[in-house]
Structure 1
Amino acid sequence: RRLICCRGDEPIGVLFSGGVDSVVLAAMGATILTANPDGPQVLELFNVTFGCGNAADRRAALQSFEEMKGLFPNLDLRLICVDVQDWESVQSHDKHVQQLISPKASVMDLNIGTALWFASRGVGRFNDNPAYESRCRILLLGMGADEQMGGYTRHRKAYKNGTLRQELDMDIGRLWERNLGRDDRVISDHGKEARFPFLDPNVVDFLAKTPLDDVCDFDLGPGMGDKRILRLVAMRMGLLTASGLVKRAIQFGSRIAHESDKRRFGSRRQAKGESSIRNIE
């Protein structure tokens, strides 16, 4: 709330996969904007795909976007579709993105970094403009939701083994080293500030004090029990589509992993996300 109310004239942006994390963030931002009608009434949602424009994240984003337009009819909601259709465009920025994600050096990190770099650049298709350039300088991201609310598949296994609390604590403790530095450097390259509302100290403290059974419920299936508390928030906000979507990591939902594996290794079967970038040069 403080971030959105104290900004300048530039619109706020949200990295928008159409999944529950990003849609809840977008809806909360929209709620705050509409409660302050004297300020700019614009919210920009960035969605990136690679190769064909029919990636899972694009389909989810379009569905959630339509739902949000119905919930916030007086807000200028802008879905910015970042379509990276030619691999040459990815290759031309490869070295630069590798420098940004360093010391991370896995193919998975490169794929994630590439997706974030193109998405946060904010150049894409909006209405009839095929090369719309966003003036957004602050970008909200959903990092931290999976780590705190049981969003990963391995959390389900840990639950069955009775080690879920330890697994979540481990994920939260290493988040800064595994993800945040990489993501912040990539997004800052475009002169934008990355903000992570799910890592606000008040949110972290609240989730840490909430019984795990209220945070996630792995007796329920994927898309229901993982991040259960967040899915219930989405349902209460009227975000019915996003509330039941199964998690997809950005590298898969945007199809960057599909394109990267095919181009770098010849097929997805031969690719390994943990492989070093040095091994493919």
Structure 2
Amino acid sequence: MVLSTIDRSGLSISILLSGLALSSGLLIPAMQPFQHVNFRSSASSTRGSPCGARMCGIIAIFDPNLGASELEELTRSLSTLLSHRGPDEVGYVGGPGYGLGHTRLSIMDPAAGRQPLTSDETGSSVIHNGEIYNFRDLRAEVHEARHATGAGDFAFKTGSDSEVCLPLFDSLGNDVASKLDGMFAVVLASEDGKRMLACRDPVGIKPLYRGWSADGRTMFASELKCLVGQVEHVEEFPPGHYWTPETGYVRFYSPEWMTPLLAEEATEEVPLELPMGDASRVRSILRSAVQKRLMSDVEYGLLLSGGLDSAIVCKLMAELTDMSKIKSFTVGMRNSPDIMAARAVAEVFGTDHHEHLFTAEEAFSILPQVIYHLETYEPELIRSSIPNFFLARLAGEHVKVVLTGEGADELFAGYLYFRDCPDRPSMQRETLRIFDHLHNVNLQRSDRMGMAHGIEARVPFLDVDMLAEAYGKLDPTIKMHVDGKMEKHALRALFDDGDIPQDVVWRTKAMQCEGVGTDWVSILQGKCEEVISDEEIARAAGDFPLNTP
């Protein structure tokens, strides 16, 4: 995806809405990226603003043509566009030809984990958005490696997970990316600016974009809005890669199960080596993934959709922590299926449950904010983000971190169209295909709506060990919708132990957007049609030649 000289200065919200009015189908075609909805129920206030509340955002500028003061002024100015991602702190560090900016949501070591972080030994600096779950193990590895060479311990200054990137960068160089387990967008630079590296997590849970110009400027940012008007070319930074000026993009995450995605010759005619394992290890791996994501120095919560996936996360959390201290959140229209099912789960596990009941009129009113944060014109993604916007706003009034059930439908073939899957190879290819689109749809929605309100969303189902099991070990037959078995039958059976309500364990997957209420989409479409004329739609390409809505 290359968006050359992006220009949104003439953006018309009415034209953006036209896409919603034109798109009336609720089913996602099998050969398009998915917009699976995980909107959940909850009752609370309706306040909010276009720039939301808090979360981490990063901006990096490498430009040999700017002086130190110019770099700092530009970096700090563009950082303000990310204030919704991180209002707790704004930081800057610069060197010859580069500036690093960071807006911070304080989660790990809130008192001392300010970014950018700089090594006292080498002067290297890092900016990081996300969480590195294995940072304590990596710190131990750093000390062990230094002891082996006769050096003393690295002098870590904070308890932040981000700081471990500094000694790894200084000792391992480009290999730092492959050591990290988590969700992350990272930019590192040496003190003199001669070495730099950017990397993004294997799944693309955290966003990152790269921009560049012919005059030598290169930029990285958490959101596109920081790059508009600053560079000639912009592209999404691909998940599972690192980038340096010398190497360009290099894939650091390439497990064997990804071979069909990575091989150019991987067509329907190419034989697949299909895994043959059963589902016996899924529960323990997922439990470990949930435990890993309970890492936080601040209060965390749970997004309850009323569906199977978030109920499973809730069940596993209950095995690991005191649920009476956990706040859960759900959104929907009054008495909608999601609202009722989420209430039942919350009651069973004893969470402090919060709901927001929205109306179609309220959904229409927040469309400009949704589009501003989402940074896309895709109608299905915009529409599915509306409930998530309300959900993140509600959760943001109470916590900074939430766990979600995103990703389960991709791993375990949870979408209803999989009923038409003819065989094991087709199942393996299709589940891999939709996984490969997650960073542009579900994860983009989750991050952007969460960041608009200062919420970090963590996704246990997309843990790298869970991916290896689901795609590299599980026989695709387990995921088939055959012999009267409903979608995700094996996953349901693993958790049908009496804790999660039966009506939730065996609840058929709702059509997209239907779980939160049955009539809000049609009302929303009607309102769009009222404000968009056929003439405006007809001339959209002429009025907006770049990225036509």
Where structure 1 has 5 or more consecutive residues not aligned to the other structure, the ranges are 35-39, 70-76, 124-132, 268-275
Q: Secondary structure at the match of 1:169?
A: helix
Residues 324 and 352, structure 2, Cα contact 8 Å, conserved in 1: no
Candidates 354, 366, 379, aligned match of 1:80: 354
Cα drift, residue 42 of structure 1: 1.3
CA distance in 1, matches of 2:293, 2:498: 21
Change over 3 Å in CA distance of 1:93–1:263 after alignment to 2: closer
Q: Secondary structure at the match of 2:496?
A: helix
Q: Which residue of 1 aligns with 2:476?
A: 212
Q: Give the 5 Å matches for 1:256-271.
A: 258-265=519-526
Paired AA for residue 66 in structure 1:
E
Q: Which residue of 1 aligns with 2:372?
A: 99
CA distance in 1, matches of 2:404, 2:512: 12
Cα drift, residue 261 of structure 1: 1.9
Residues 374 and 445, structure 2, Cα contact 8 Å, conserved in 1: yes
Q: Give the 5 Å matches for 1:117-156.
A: 117-122=389-394, 134-156=397-419
Q: Which has the larger radius of gyration?
A: 2
Residues 306 and 342, structure 2, Cα contact 8 Å, conserved in 1: yes
CA distance in 2, matches of 1:104, 1:231: 35
Deviations 1:48-68 (A, max 9, x none): 013xx1111112112223333
Residues 304 and 311, structure 2, Cα contact 8 Å, conserved in 1: yes
1:175 pairs with 2:438: yes
CA distance in 1, matches of 2:462, 2:433: 15
CA distance in 2, matches of 1:159, 1:199: 26
Paired AA for residue 320 in structure 2:
I
TM-score normalized by the length of structure 2: 0.41
CA distance in 2, matches of 1:159, 1:177: 27
Cα drift, residue 162 of structure 1: 6.2
Change over 3 Å in CA distance of 1:217–1:66 after alignment to 2: farther
1:14 pairs with 2:302: yes
Q: Secondary structure at the match of 1:25?
A: helix
CA distance in 1, matches of 2:376, 2:466: 29
Candidates 323, 347, 355, aligned match of 1:66: 347
Paired AA for residue 24 in structure 1:
I
CA distance in 2, matches of 1:63, 1:27: 13
Residues 159 and 218, structure 1, Cα contact 8 Å, conserved in 2: no
Candidates 336, 339, 343, aligned match of 1:55: 336
1:186 pairs with 2:462: no
CA distance in 1, matches of 2:400, 2:422: 39
Deviations 1:13-47 (A, max 9, x none): 2221211101001111121104xxxxx95112211
Q: Secondary structure at the match of 2:352?
A: strand
Q: Which moved more, 1:234-243 or 1:55-64?
A: 234-243
Residues 49 and 58, structure 1, Cα contact 8 Å, conserved in 2: yes
Identity %: 22
CA distance in 1, matches of 2:480, 2:522: 34
CA distance in 2, matches of 1:104, 1:140: 27
Q: Which residue of 2 aligns with 1:74?
A: none
Cα drift, residue 161 of structure 1: 9.1
RMSD: 2.7
CA distance in 1, matches of 2:483, 2:397: 40
1:248 pairs with 2:532: no
Cα drift, residue 95 of structure 1: 0.5
Q: Which residue of 2 aligns with 1:30?
A: 318
Q: Secondary structure at the match of 1:190?
A: coil
Structure 1 runs (4+) greater than 3 angstroms displaced:
159-162
Paired AA for residue 435 in structure 2:
I
Cα drift, residue 265 of structure 1: 2.5
Residues 102 and 182, structure 1, Cα contact 8 Å, conserved in 2: no
Residues 310 and 404, structure 2, Cα contact 8 Å, conserved in 1: yes
Residues 27 and 68, structure 1, Cα contact 8 Å, conserved in 2: yes
Q: Which residue of 2 aligns with 1:127?
A: none
TM-score normalized by the length of structure 1: 0.76
